[in-house]
Structure 1
Amino acid sequence: MTAPDMNAPIRKFAALLTAAAAAGGLTACVGAFDPETDPTSPVAPRVQALVDANRSYPRWADFPKSLEAEPAPAVIAARVATLETTGGELADAAARIEWLTGGDASAFAESVRERVAAVEVAPVTAETAAEIEEFARRTRERGRAPPPVDRR
Structure 2
Amino acid sequence: MTAAVLLTGGLTACAGAFNAETDASSPVAPRVQALVDANREYPRWADFPRVTEPVPEPVAIAAQVNTLRVTGGGLAGEVSRIDWQETGDPAVFAAEVQARLNAVTVAPVTAETQAEMEEFIRRTRERGRAPPPVDRRPAQ
Q: Which of the five TM-score ranges fits, normalised by the shorter chain?
A: 0.5 to 0.7
Distance 2:114 2:17 in 1: 61
Deviation, structure 1 residue 126: 1.6
Residue of structure 2 aligned with 1:83, choices 52, 68, 79: 68
CA change 1:112–1:59 in 2 (3 A) is same
Which residue identity lines up with residue 41 of structure 2 in the other structure? S
Structure 2, unpaired ranges of 5+: 4-9, 123-140
Residue of structure 2 aligned with 1:50, choices 4, 22, 35: 35
Q: Kindly tell me the number of residue pairs found equivalent between the two proteins.
A: 115
The two structures have a TM-score, normalised by structure 1, of 0.53
User: Are 2:19 and 1:34 equivalent residues in the alignment?
Assistant: yes
CA change 1:28–1:115 in 2 (3 A) is farther
SS in structure 2 opposite 1:123?
Answer: coil
The two structures have a TM-score, normalised by structure 2, of 0.57
Larger helix share, 1 or 2: 1
Q: Deviations over 1:49-79 (max 9, x none)?
A: 1112212322333212211232223322322
Deviation, structure 1 residue 91: 1.5
- Of 128-137 and 58-67, the range deviating more from structure 2: 128-137
SS in structure 2 opposite 1:86?
Answer: helix
Which residue identity lines up with residue 42 of structure 1 in the other structure? P
User: Are 2:112 and 1:127 equivalent residues in the alignment?
Assistant: yes
